[in-house]
Amino acid sequence: MDLFFRKFGQGPPLIIVHGLYGSSDNWVTVGKKLSEKFEVYLIDQRNHGQSPHSPEHNYSLLKEDLREFMDKHSIEKAVIIGHSMGGKTAMFFAADYPERINSLIVVDISPLSYKSTNSVQLLSHSVIMDSMYKIDLSKVNSREEIDKILAESIHQTHVRQFLLKNIRRSKDNKFSWILNISALRKELPEIMSGLDIKDYENGKSISGFPVLFIKGADSDYILEKDEKEILKIFPFAEITTIPKAGHWVHAEQPELFIKTIETFVLK
């Protein structure tokens, strides 16, 4: 998979892997700031942004996409930052290729599965996916009209504004999703999956490099009960909380987020 990417700065390599519905474009501000100290690569994962589409979307493939990207660009080891789905990609990558990581930073996601039928996250993403999928974009004339349709089931304005960044308009005024929404909707159970904690018992944990989990204080993606499980898989991980931030920590508290990363990696 030949992933689209943006590159900034010089120094030790640092790769940022975006989350579901995201793209490298969402991380340009953070990436440029970090490029003062690192050679920053912002990638678009498959089925997102300007990267190719595929009918398959699971972490077995996403981690190999990341490995292929590093190989293609002659990156032997890197600091890897992953947000949400990108954090899962980074953790699956760390499990198989620990020798390719200098530091691992996981942003507002746990390594565990969110696939249970009563999972708030699964239900929320199911609503979002269904809402996006059902819109007949051939019959709309503006982004405002799309927003109005989405608002019928997605009540949070900031979530809709984030989703609308994935709308493109052709020269003949036709709207389409940049995302491969049909594949992502079909593969949502895989996207919500996680590492199997049974694989990391009896001394088989992931170690050998510094690990930081960053969670938003107002987010429900990493709960207190999850922290014990995180430490079973990553026994030397640090877990820190960014105040006044939800799931999109980097967008809601960018200065504190960047300072937290730099302090951790450069200490």
Q: Domain coordinates of the chain in residue numbers?
A: 5-112+194-266, 120-189
Q: Record the pTM.
A: 0.95
Tell me, yes or no, if 119 is annotated catalytic: no
- pLDDT score, position 267: 80
Catalytic residue among 18, 83, 125, 247: 247
Counted residue by residue, the chain has a size of 267
pLDDT bin (cut points 50, 70, 90) of residue 13 is: very high
- pLDDT score, position 118: 59
CATH value of 5-112+194-266 in 3.40.50.1820, 3.30.465.10, 3.40.50.620, 2.130.10.10:
3.40.50.1820
Residue holding tokens 């999972």? 119
Share of the chain above pLDDT 70, in %: 99
- Contact predicate 87/107, CB 8 Å: yes
User: Each residue of 164-197: pLDDT tens digit?
Assistant: 999 999 888 899 999 999 999 999 999 999 999 9
User: Each residue of 144-153: pLDDT tens digit?
Assistant: 999 999 999 9
User: Each residue of 67-91: pLDDT tens digit?
Assistant: 999 999 999 999 999 999 999 999 9
- Strand ranges for 123-223 from DSSP E: 167-169, 175-177, 211-216
Tell me, yes or no, if 84 is annotated catalytic: yes
Catalytic residue among 35, 84, 103, 219: 84
Q: Which helix (H) or strand (E) holds 255?
A: helix 254-266
CA distance 206 to 191: 21
